[in-house]
Amino acid sequence: MTKFIIRRFLSLIPTMFVIITLSFFLIRFAPGGPFSSEKKLPEAVLQNILKKYHMDESMPMQYLRYFNDVLHGDFGPSYKYKESTVNELIAQSFPNSIVLGSVALALAVFAGIGVGITSALRQNRWQDYLAMSLAVIGISVPLFVIGPVLQLAFSMQLKWLPVSGWYGRKWPLTLILPALTLSFPYFAYIARLSRASILEVLRSDYVRTARAKGLKESAVVLKHVLKGALLPVVSYLGPAFSGIITGSIVVESVFVVPGVGRIFVQSALNRDYTLIMGEVIVYSLILVVMNFAVDIVYGFLDPRISYK
Amino acid sequence: MKRILAVLFVLVAVTGMFAQDFVFSNASEPTLDPSLQTDTASTNVYLGLFEGLVQYDPKTSRAIPAVAESWTISKDGTVITFKLRKNATWSDGHPVTAQDFVYAMRRILDPKTGAEYAYFPAMVIKGADAFNSGKGKAEDVGYKAIDANTLEVSLTGPAPYAVDMMAHSSFGPVPQWAVEKFGNDWTKPSNIVTNGPYLLKDWKVQEYLLMEKNPKYWDAKNVKIKSIKVLPGDNDTTNYNMFKNGEVDWTHGIAVSKIDEIKLRKDFQASPQVATYYISLNIAKKPFDDVRVRKALAMAIDKKAIVDKITKAGQIPTDAMVPPLAGYTPQKGAGFNPEQAKKLLAEAGFPGGKGFPAFTYIYNTNEGHKAIGEFIQQSWKNVLGIDCTLQNMEFKTLLDLRDKQRDFTVSRNGWVGDYIDPNTMLELFISDSGNNAGNYKNADFDKLIEKARTAKVSDRYKIFQQAETMLLTRDQALIPIYHYVNLDMIDASKWGGWYPNPIGFHPWKFMYKK
């Protein structure tokens, strides 16, 4: 077991190496550069800037320099936000994305499981149809539509919540709409997932036994059904968490949330090479570490999987 | 967790008590260092935190006194002597001196600073271009402190617009002692030293920036708004929704998709800019090397219809590159004339568009550019019988193809002037200009632009008119479509001292609540 964990952990290193190397060169193949704009810079000015950021050196040299910096935990200066380093920008924005993501995930899990149980127990009745229609909407309607619709309803019409923003007078009210929007597709997926697995468990022998013993329906559901039925949901949490953190780009942009996703989009359009790289590294670290964690947790949850 | 929440609630309540005076949506995150600024968002903050020798008149955008209380221009127009006021101070108590401007100028031009906007002072300040490109010395830059309150500025020629340019942040002062002490971190809220009407109170990148009135500012008694909160929101729809909801007092730029609704509002402001939306034709490619073809293409487009039916926000249809300026009459290229267009194309050897090679019209991905492209595509098809394909691409990809490789046939283009003078709209078409995407090469045109640099003030506009006549009336090197307008949402019945103006910068010190 320990051996497996160590081996699995060590395999993260080459994964990260490949990701860093590939993205370093790929973003430089994209046409244009951080300093191209509608008004072309005079050649002398451009050369000064390239020299300042060591971009006048050969590509392999730049790569080695960058890799060395990354190994020392330094992601370099941002080309667009000239007064900030990439480390500062990520340190400032990452906690906001984590707060938003965690609240959204908590909403998705509780609401999703709740709705899943209700529709499973009322299968093929109106509650089930209503819940599953909602879930279909949640999965199929993109976030950039849900977000503005919620803004329109709750901010513009009802005037209950602010349109956007983050900290300030209205915090934590500003958190509600973006968290709601972000949680929607995950809520929908979890609702469908839990409904399906509860239905499956409800038909299993041990539930029939529990009912035959004369247990109350609530006890059957809470003690026996849920325990077995939630396994798929739990194993979905890992990918969901990394997905919700890395997938908040649209939501952060619509609600002006100062998170990593918002600056990620901007950095790509700006060709802010160092900032893109920094974000790619952070995002991929989250993904590989969450996958790693899920692999480990699977073993504890599912006795059929054994580590060798 | 409960405790954290409780603390947060108290914090929220406390900050709520100090209500902001003015909230403004700034479209992107600013850079504070005047020497490193490159965009409007940064200038908006610069106008609060710093003050140059001169600043923008809120109505006309021309220079008015700021740190300099007066200036004189030598007879030949090449030396400006500024008298600095004695009561201007930095936020740490240092007096603002001529030396601060000399230091700032040398710093922005220094190749080691790598400042993008170094090119701006380099256009007019003597010795600036040489120092910036590593060929000259800092001491030879035309900025000399005669004494603490007298600054002598030498220009490359008699540029009457130079004083107006100097309201720009690239000419702003920088506190040498703070830069030397903190290096790149000198603009962090705890380190920054400023001299403008407002002080930097707080700055959370991507969240907000808070400026508060500077009690030590020399003209503090005339500064009315107590604090300004600057938000970095870049989503036009969200900005508009926040404005409608009363969460922000001013947004620059509007949600174009909502223009029909917006233009009926009283708080919508459109003001003409020194800027032109135009089409670049690659003159290096056949058959666009034939002026008859270029004129035919221009004559087939009804620009008024584009402005009335597509952009709809008050843009001004045009056949010229330079917008109307006081004393300058723009010289026009070919206007809308379908019959003449057909004739010219036939003369060029393509009657009814027969035999005209297929080509592509490129534009950066944007609903507005797309609609204009489709309109032009239809016009060329209907009037001339010419087929063109539309191709959209991401902005930087377009720049690479159009401006760097010049590997295109026809492209959407746009140019925003840096100051109020024909030069800023014409000099980009000189033969070796990096912005001359259409490869217009005309030695006579180059000579005229060069001649205007040293010409007497009274002759300059005439020379520029000759140049524009050559560029458009004779050669139709490009197809102008319309002059841009600044689009703002601000309630003028509530806020005074804010005026629609050609440059689109609005100094905070003149604003007040009605």
User: What pLDDT, in 10s, does the model give residues A197-224?
Assistant: 999 888 888 888 888 888 888 888 888 8
Sheet holding B143-147, edge to edge: B68-73, B79-84, B150-154, B143-147
pLDDT band at A159 (very low <50, low <70, confident <90, very high): confident
Is the distance from CB of B368 to CB of B333 less than 8 angstroms? no
Count of pairs with CB atoms under 8 A, one residue in A, one in B:
157
What does the alpha-carbon distance between residue B370 and residue B257 come to, in Å, rounded to a whole number?
A: 13
Reported as a single tens digit per residue, the pLDDT across A80-120 is: 888 889 999 999 888 888 899 999 999 999 999 999 988 98
Ramachandran sector of residue B349 (left: φ over 0; alpha: ψ -120 to 50; beta: rest): left
A255 touching B, CB under 8 A?
yes
Res B19: pLDDT? 47
Q: Give the CA distances from residue A102 to residues A107, A180, B489, B511, in Å, rounded to whole numbers and listed in that order.
A: 9, 11, 36, 42
Quote the longest CA-to-CA distance of chain B.
83
Q: Is the pLDDT of residue A36 over 50?
A: yes
Among all residues of chain B, which has the CA nearest to that of A38? B399
Chain A residues in contact with B29 by the CB 8 A cut-off are 81
Closest-CA distance of chain B to residue A120, Å: 34
Reported as a single tens digit per residue, the pLDDT across B475-493 is: 999 999 999 999 999 999 9
Chain B residues in contact with A170 by the CB 8 A cut-off are 12
Res B319: pLDDT? 97
**Residue B487: what are its φ and ψ, rounded to 5°?**
-120, 120
C-beta atoms of A32 and B29 within 8 A: no
C-beta atoms of A45 and B118 within 8 A: yes
- Structural domains of chain B in order of their starting residue, each with its CATH number: 270-486 (3.10.105.10)
Cβ within 8 Å of B, A 173-232: none
pLDDT band at A308 (very low <50, low <70, confident <90, very high): low
A91 touching B, CB under 8 A?
no
Question: Does an H or E element contain B496, and which?
Answer: strand B495-496
A49 touching B, CB under 8 A?
yes
Res B172: pLDDT? 96
C-beta atoms of B113 and A254 within 8 A: no
Q: What is the DSSP string of A212-270?
A: HTT--HHHIIIIIIHHHHTHHHHHHHHHHHHHHHHT-HHHHHHTT--SHHHHHHHHHHH
C-beta atoms of A32 and B237 within 8 A: no
**Mean pLDDT, chain A, whole residue set:** 86
Is the distance from CB of B163 to CB of B54 less than 8 angstroms? yes
pLDDT band at A229 (very low <50, low <70, confident <90, very high): confident
A267 touching B, CB under 8 A?
no
C-beta atoms of B208 and A168 within 8 A: yes
Q: What is the DSSP string of B174-190?
A: --HHHHHHHGGGGGSTT
Which of B122, B237, B396 is nearest residue A148 as measured by Cβ atoms? B237
Q: Where are the domains of chain A?
A: 86-301
Which of A33, A88, A256 is nearest residue B238 as measured by Cβ atoms? A256
Res A135: pLDDT? 87
Q: Is the pLDDT of residue A307 over 70?
A: no
Show Cβ contacts of residue A121 under 8 Å, excluding neighbours closer than 6 positions: A198, A221
Reported as a single tens digit per residue, the pLDDT across A172-183 is: 778 888 898 999
Closest-CA distance of chain A to residue B28, Å: 10
- In sequence order, what are the beta bridge partners of B391? B362
Which of A36, A88, A164 is nearest residue B399 as measured by Cβ atoms? A36
Which of B132, B244, B403 is nearest residue A44 as measured by Cβ atoms? B132
Map tokens 């973006």 to a residue: A178
Low-confidence stretches of chain B (pLDDT beneath 50): 1, 7-19
Mutate: best of A83, A145, A174, A177, partner B, most B CBs <10 A: A83
C-beta atoms of B118 and A32 within 8 A: no
Instruction: Provide, for chain A, the percentages of residues in helix, strand and coil under a 3-state DSSP scheme, each rounded to the nearest 5.
Output: 75, 0, 25
Among all residues of chain A, which has the CA nearest to that of B123? A42
C-beta atoms of B396 and A88 within 8 A: no
Among all residues of chain A, which has the CA nearest to that of B15? A169
Chain A residues in contact with B189 by the CB 8 A cut-off are none
- Both tokens assigned to B507: 């100094």
Which of B31, B114, B206 is nearest residue A93 as measured by Cβ atoms? B206
What does the alpha-carbon distance between residue B260 and residue B279 come to, in Å, rounded to a whole number?
A: 26
Dihedral angle, C-alpha B298, B301, B303, B307, nearest 10 °: -140
- The distance in angstroms from the start CA to the end CA of chain A is 7
C-beta atoms of B238 and A151 within 8 A: yes
Closest-CA distance of chain A to residue B86, Å: 31
C-beta atoms of B132 and A262 within 8 A: no
Q: Is the ipTM of this complex over 0.95?
A: no
Q: Give the CA distances from residue B405 to residues A270, B150, B315, B410, in Å, rounded to whole numbers and listed in that order.
A: 19, 47, 31, 14
Question: Does an H or E element contain B276, and which?
Answer: strand B268-281
Q: Which of A232, A248, A203 is nearest to A112 (CA)?
A: A232
Output the pTM of the full model: 0.82
Mutate: best of B40, B110, B116, B363, partner A, most A CBs <10 A: B116
What does the alpha-carbon distance between residue B321 and residue B52 come to, in Å, rounded to a whole number?
A: 30
Closest-CA distance of chain A to residue B118, Å: 7
pLDDT band at A169 (very low <50, low <70, confident <90, very high): low
C-beta atoms of B12 and A53 within 8 A: no
Closest-CA distance of chain A to residue B483, Å: 16
Ramachandran sector of residue A73 (left: φ over 0; alpha: ψ -120 to 50; beta: rest): left
What average pLDDT score do residues A236-258 get? 82
What does the alpha-carbon distance between residue B215 and residue B410 come to, in Å, rounded to a whole number?
A: 55
Q: Give the CA distances from residue B401 to residues A106, A295, B396, in Å, rounded to whole numbers and listed in that order.
A: 47, 46, 9
Chain A residues in contact with B129 by the CB 8 A cut-off are 44
Q: Which of B314, B228, B211, B265 is nearest to B492 (CA)?
A: B265
Among all residues of chain B, which has the CA nearest to that of A153? B241
Q: Which of B146, B34, B155 is nearest to B98 (CA)?
A: B146
Report the SS3 class of residue B413.
strand
Chain A residues in contact with B119 by the CB 8 A cut-off are 41-42, 45
A157 touching B, CB under 8 A?
no
Closest-CA distance of chain A to residue B36, Å: 7
pLDDT band at A11 (very low <50, low <70, confident <90, very high): confident
Which of A31, A45, A170 is nearest residue B132 as measured by Cβ atoms? A45
Q: Is the pLDDT of residue A297 over 90?
A: no
Chain A residues in contact with B185 by the CB 8 A cut-off are 83
C-beta atoms of B204 and A258 within 8 A: yes
C-beta atoms of B396 and A38 within 8 A: no
Which of B188, B205, B434 is nearest residue A81 as measured by Cβ atoms? B205
Closest-CA distance of chain A to residue B400, Å: 5
**DSSP label at residue B428:** G
Give the side-chain half-sphere CA count within 13 A for B37: 26
Closest-CA distance of chain B to residue A56, Å: 13
Superfamily of chain region A86-301: MetI-like (1.10.3720.10)
Chain B residues in contact with A168 by the CB 8 A cut-off are 15, 208
Res B74: pLDDT? 94
C-beta atoms of B16 and A169 within 8 A: yes
Instruction: Provide, for chain B, the percentages of residues in helix, strand and coil under a 3-state DSSP scheme, each rounded to the nearest 5.
Output: 40, 20, 40
Among all residues of chain A, which has the CA nearest to that of B19? A169
Q: Which of A100, A140, A83 is nearest to A256 (CA)?
A: A100
